[in-house]
């Protein structure tokens, strides 16, 4: 079992955000024959890069003694659930826009964003920073929800990934 410190929790979260960024960048490539769809995935990937920067910055500003504190069971249980979801996402086959969107929706509506908000609220001392970052996360979620409404489920099922052969 990995160390259950705040430092370890941040490192895991940075890794998750990195995996999400790379996943969305891959989706942009897979759907590059659909410019509007590809642009959506590129923006999500950029959002994730911003989340990585925020987490790294908060971690850097967190005093060493606080970084070495143990994480409570409730937060660590959330970590375990997110880890499972991330592992599942990395192995799931994506053939259509519907597959990709559902995977992104699952990731973003999971405890991943809940943990991100905990990091911001618990470890970022600047109240104005809270508002800005949480507004950014809200905008990120709204972008996903809006995109999901732009296509019916049957339309999303008909948009296939580009053939790589």
Quick count: other Cβ atoms within 10 Å of Cβ 51? 26
Domains of the chain, start order? 6-158 (1.20.1260.10)
The pLDDT of residue 43: 96
Single out the residue of 30, 8, 4 nearest to residue 162, CA to CA. Answer: 30
**What tens-digit pLDDT sequence spans the chain (165 residues)?**
458 898 998 898 899 889 999 999 999 999 999 999 999 999 999 999 998 998 898 888 888 998 898 988 877 887 788 888 888 887 888 999 999 999 998 888 876 666 767 776 777 666 766 676 777 878 888 999 999 999 888 989 999 998 654
Helix extents (H) in the chain: 6-30, 35-61, 64-67, 73-91, 97-108, 111-123, 127-150, 153-158
Tokens of 102: 């559902």
Tokens of 7: 């430092």
Please say whether the beta carbons of 140 and 47 come within 8 A: yes
Tokens of 85: 């979801």
């Amino acid at each position: 079992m990995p160390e259950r410190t705040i430092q370890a929790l941040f490192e895991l979260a940075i890794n998750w955000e990195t995996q999400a960024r790379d996943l969305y960048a891959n989706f942009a490539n897979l759907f590059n024959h659909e410019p509007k769809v590809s642009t959506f995935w590129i923006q999500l990937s950029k959002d994730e890069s911003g989340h990585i920067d925020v987490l790294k910055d908060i971690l850097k500003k967190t005093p060493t003694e606080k970084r070495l504190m143990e994480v409570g069971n409730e937060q660590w249980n959330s970590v375990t659930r997110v880890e499972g979801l991330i592992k599942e996402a990395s192995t799931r086959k994506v053939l259509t826009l519907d597959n990709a969107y559902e995977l992104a929706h699952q990731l973003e509506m999971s405890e991943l964003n809940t943990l991100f908000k905990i990091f911001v609220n618990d470890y970022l001392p600047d109240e104005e920073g809270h508002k800005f970052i949480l507004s950014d996360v809200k905008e990120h979620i709204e972008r996903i929800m809006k995109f999901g409404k732009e296509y019916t489920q049957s339309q999303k099922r008909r948009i296939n990934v580009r053939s790589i052969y």
